[in-house]
Amino acid sequence: MPTAIVSDIHANLPAMESVLEDIEMRGIKRILCLGDVIGYGPEPRECLQRCSAFDVNLMGNHEEAVLFDPIGFNPRAKAAVEWTKQQLMNSDCPREENAALWKILDSMKETHEEDDVLLAHGTPRDPIREYLFVHDCEDDPTKVEELFDSFTASTAFVGHTHIGGVFLPGPRFQTPDEIGGRFQLGKERAIVNVGSVGQPRDGDPRSSYVVLHEDQIEFCRVEYPVEETVRRFRRTPLPENLALRLVEGR
């Protein structure tokens, strides 16, 4: 049964809705989410409500920051965390509705394992906060090898950097374009970054997610109404640069 794996929605509802439509059009019923449903974007309540229907929800560093403390966040990101927190406690909304949102956050797991696959937001060894960057393959190959040694499944899926692609032992990194949008499973171990639904940073503003088929991974890009998200940002006090970066996908 094909499964959609999404990550880093970041309270961007138009992007989330476009991706969910794409998933539905493909007839896919199972959705796993690698975290950061909230943070940065203007519609945290709506995105959390929608993600409660997913089959798995992992905790990202933005959920952790809202639930506990914003560790390692720059001042702008910290301000967005505080604003998000206020939205989830909005006293104009029914108390039970707010409680349900916090319950969703509280129920998020750090990792999930099934069928020789491990899921985490950051990395397999530090599932919430650690980044695995593309440049680590050149700058810190030992780190990448250690990450491969830190889990036993054949394939790990992560998000967090908002840049999709496949890390392979060696180590090396392949972009989705370099592999024709598909990665064959079973030949080599891999750490697959699924990219970001709501704040892609690879220069392509379209939402990114993957479909896990029986023997391969398919990278998917979905156009969404970015200008609509930018308009929704303008109704909030969130910094403008968070909206404008979406237009460029940076």
Smallest separation (angstroms) from Fe ion to the CB of 199: 7
Task: Rule CB under 5 A: choose which of 3, 6, 8, 51 binds Fe ion.
Answer: 8
Does 43 sit near Fe ion (CB under 5 A)? no
Q: Of the ranges 33-41, 80-88, 130-138, 184-192, which one interacts with Fe ion (CB under 5 A)? A: 33-41
**C-alpha–C-alpha distance, residues 52 and 71, integer Å:** 25
Task: Rule CB under 5 A: choose which of 5, 11, 36, 200 binds Fe ion.
Answer: 36
**What stretches of the chain adopt beta strand conformation (E)?**
3-6, 30-33, 56-57, 111-114, 117-120, 155-158, 165-168, 172-174, 182-184, 190-193, 207-212, 216-222
Residue with the closest Cβ to Fe ion? 36
Q: Of the ranges 28-36, 50-58, 88-96, 187-195, which one interacts with Fe ion (CB under 5 A)? A: 28-36
Q: Please give the size of the binding site for Fe ion, defined by CB under 5 A.
A: 2
Smallest separation (angstroms) from Fe ion to the CB of 56: 17
Cβ-count burial of 158 within 10 angstroms (0-12 exposed, 13-18 middle, 19+ buried)? buried
44: left (phi over 0), alpha (psi -120 to 50) or beta: alpha
**C-alpha–C-alpha distance, residues 24 and 87, integer Å:** 29
Smallest separation (angstroms) from Fe ion to the CB of 99: 25
Smallest separation (angstroms) from Fe ion to the CB of 81: 12
Q: Which of residues 172-191 bind Fe ion (CB under 5 A)?
A: none
Element counts in the chain: helices (H) and strands (E): 9, 12
Q: Which residue has the tokens 């108390």?
A: 95
- Token readout for 204 is 């392509």
**C-alpha–C-alpha distance, residues 104 and 52, integer Å:** 7
Q: Of the ranges 34-42, 46-54, 65-73, 145-153, which one interacts with Fe ion (CB under 5 A)? A: 34-42
Question: CA 62, 66, 69, 75 torsion: positive or negative?
Answer: positive
Residue closer to Fe ion, measured from CB, 36 or 202: 36
Q: Of the ranges 1-9, 87-95, 177-185, 214-222, which one interacts with Fe ion (CB under 5 A)? A: 1-9
The residues binding Fe ion (CB under 5 A) are: 8, 36
